[in-house]
Structure 1
Amino acid sequence: MSKVKNFRTSFYYKYLKAPSTKFIIYFILIGVGYAYLYPLLYMITTSFMSVEDLVNPTVNWIPTKITFDNFARAWKVLEATKSLLNSAYMSTIPALFQTFITALIAYGLSRFEFPLKRFWIVLMLATFLIPSQVTLVTKYMLFSRLNLTGTPFVSFLPSLTGQGIRSAIFILLYYNFFNMLPKTFDEAAELDGANSFQIFFKIVFPLSIPAMVTTFIFSLVWYWNETLLTGLLLGNNIRTIPIALRDFVSKYSIMFPSADGSAANRINEGIRMSATLITILPLLITYLILQRQFVESLERTGITGE
């Protein structure tokens, strides 16, 4: 063991701590960061540009005059106040349901033995491989027969029964996390007279906060950006902000017709970027608030046990 440790130490100081290696690592990180941040920075700067700046080839990043007219028009076309509220409860409530239910399912798979357990785990993972478009018609027929189309229950019920968006990934995440937790916790609680539900709610579930944070953030983002199922099952009864963004161009042309040839009413790139920024801004704010917990959750999911 000492030889292996010495080899690792020498390799670390000889190669990973070398200036050339540091330069390569930082170069790669900066390049990847630029590739991810460039669209966001371009979106922010363009959304504050006026029509004159957009057609001026000398203006690339910094606008000569900051304007908020783009946001005003985009907000009006998106009906952002109503659409943001619809998106908030149509994504937060299913995300909370999914965070809890998938943990309960994974706990049962991790702690209990039953016939064909491996088969059910494989079948659960196979549901993730099936594209959502394949089951789209059957889902619509099911909710239509239950008279639930156009109601929030088309999102609430699947998440409440472990069939939400990409629930299989979260079940697998909890399953691996619970397997790393020492089973001596459960045994000690059983000696004190606790049943399975008490063990889950009072011991296992509080210890799974790192996995809970990861599950909630990803669920929130996926439910927020979902347009295929919500557009078909909700229709025009509940319009979320991504649905409003999808129909942004056609609705803008109706609200601000440019038949008179006026360039003021003509849709431009600044208005498009403003509408897109309004759509993703709540997610950016949520991530900035939960950034620390999210990073810590990714680190803590590597905990090992018996």
Structure 2
Amino acid sequence: MLNAPVSKQQIKEKWLKIKNRLLGTNSKQGFLIQLLIYSLLLTIGFIYLYPLIYMLSTSFKSLNDLLDTSIKWIPSSFYLKNYQQAFSVMNIKESLLGSIVLSFVPTFFQVISTGLVGYGFAKYNFPFKKTLFFLMIFSFIVPPQILMMPTYVLYNDLGLLGSLKAFVLPAMLGQGIKSPIFVLIFYQFFKQTPISLYEAAEVDGASEWTIFFKIAIPMAVPAIIIVFLFSFVWYWNETYLVNLYLGNGSGSRSWTTMLTQLQNFKSNYEALYPVTESGSNKLNEGVTMAGTMITLIPLLLTYFVLQDYFVESVDRSGITGE
């Protein structure tokens, strides 16, 4: 029995099904679109992960593995002496404590000050509000290198150099690292909060501080998490200002961080492990990569612990990068 001829309508319907499977519909992505998206994600992920994988692999390589061209990624054995030497060179106890203190304390005060400023700009109308808001945005646009020397002279006159106050006092006054962008985050969040909540609290007799602490702050937890994480990372990664303000050692104690120790890694290593005539103890890439990985571990642990809160906070605060 001969097959019935295929009509044009049937051919059109089959072609439409194939097209929908490949390109997708309004409610479902097609195979080609998904393939393109996942390919881009894998490519971007590889670009970001490649340096970390390379550092991690190299940090466990012995000198023989580094000289052996046949060993690319997986070392012949996990050589832990690189990390032992890196820990001693970086003075890990003092530098880790310094990094935590110099990152957490200014961040804590910066969250409070930028939250207050952002709340004030979002809720109140006052004279020269737009002018002050413009000046705040302008201060973020101005390159920080232009203000470093005048700021250094001011801190020197105030006796802040060599002390943790050089970072804490500006953070308390809303002038910490990247403070304007944090004010904008709080401003955007508080601006989206229904004004009826504040008005209802005022009708019930709540004071301005009660409204701020009892209503605004609990609702601003997503923005607080975002500001805290970004501020902590930026203070942690800051090296130039640490060397500029604290490098003279004129304070009551000498402050050092893990990243400043990493900057001086070569000189500290050569002082701690002098090179012998046989060439042993010579600084190699494995030890350097171990020191670099040590500085990254605290931030990686912080991200893995708080990543769920961070993603949720970004989604709830409405930050889109626009």
Is residue 2:241 matched to residue 1:229? yes
Please give the per-residue CA displacement for 1:61-97, whole angstroms capped at 9, x wherever unaligned. Answer: 1111101111111111110111000110110111111
Deviations 1:93-118 (A, max 9, x none): 11111111101100000111011211
Is 1:78 aligned to residue 95 of structure 2? no
Does the 8 Å contact 2:60/2:82 carry over to 1? yes
Letter of the 2:168 partner, please give it. Answer: F
Match for residue 287 of structure 1? Answer: 303
Determine if the alignment matches structure 1 residue 298 to structure 2 residue 298: no
Alignment of 1:203 with 2:215, yes or no, is yes
What letter corresponds to residue 61 of structure 2 in structure 1? M
Match of 2:36 in 1: 24
Residue type matched to 1:210 in 2? P
Give the Cα–Cα distance (whole angstroms) in 2 for the partners of residues 185 and 12 of structure 1.
44
Given the alignment, which residue of 249, 254, 262 partners 2:266? 249
The gaps in structure 2 that reach 5 residues or longer are 1-19
* Residue 71 of structure 2, aligned match among 50, 53, 59: 59
Offset of 1:22 from its aligned partner? 0.5
Q: Which of 119, 134, 147 is the matching residue for 2:131?
A: 119
Query: 2:245 is matched by which residue type in structure 1?
Result: L
If you compute each CA radius of gyration, which structure gives the higher value, 1 or 2?
2
The residue aligned with 1:188 is 200
Aligned pairs for 1:148-163 (under 5 A) are 148-163=160-175
- Alignment-mate amino acid for residue 92 of structure 1: F
Deviates further, 126-135 or 269-278:
126-135
**AA aligned opposite 2:286:** G
1:241-293: per-residue Cα shift (whole Å, max 9, x none)?
Answer: 1111111112212222225241x311111111110111111111111111110
> How far apart, CA to CA, are the structure 1 residues paired with 2:145 and 2:70?
45
Q: Quickly say closer, same or farther: Cα 1:14–1:184, change in 2 above 3 A.
A: closer
Q: Secondary structure at the match of 2:256?
A: coil
Scaled by the length of structure 2, what TM-score is found?
0.88
In 2, Cα distance between equivalents of 1:207 and 1:32: 34
Task: Count matched residues.
Answer: 293
| CA distance in structure 2 between the aligned counterparts of 1:125 and 1:134, rounded to whole angstroms | 16
Deviation for aligned residue 1:142? 1.4
Q: 1:239: which partner in 2?
A: 256
4+ runs deviating over 6 angstroms? none
Separation of aligned partners in 2, 1:192 and 1:260 = 82
Match of 2:118, as an amino acid?
Answer: A
Higher RCO (CA < 8 A, seq sep 6+): 1
Q: 1:144 aligns with which of 156, 171, 183?
A: 156
Counterpart pick for 1:275 among 282, 285, 291: 291
Q: Show CA shifts across 1:125-165 (max 9, x none).
A: 11111122111111211111122211100010011100000
Partners in 2 of 1:301 and 1:179 — Cα distance?
11
2: CA distance between counterparts of 1:153 and 1:261? 48
1:45 maps to 2:52: no
Structure 2 residue 47 is matched with structure 1 residue 35: yes
Inter-partner Cα distance in structure 1 for 2:182 and 2:24: 35
The answer to whether the Cα contact below 8 Å between 2:226 and 2:314 also exists between their aligned partners in 1 is yes
Letter in 1 for 2:229: I
Distance 1:29 1:112, change over 3 A: same
Which sections of structure 1, spanning at least 5 residues, go unmatched? Answer: 1-9
In structure 1, the residue matched to 2:186 is: 174
Give the secondary-structure state (helix, strand or coil) at the position aligned to 2:73. coil
Q: In structure 2, how many angstroms separate the alpha carbons of the residues matched to 1:223 and 1:150?
A: 16
What is the letter of the counterpart of residue 281 of structure 1? I
* TM-score normalised to structure 1 length: 0.92
Would the aligned equivalents of 1:15 and 1:21 in 2 still touch at CA under 8 Å?
no
- Give, as a single letter, the amino acid of the residue that structure 2 aligns with 1:269: E
- Is the partner of 2:145 in helix, strand or coil? coil
Shift of 1:13: 2.0
Aligned to 1:3: none
Identity %: 41
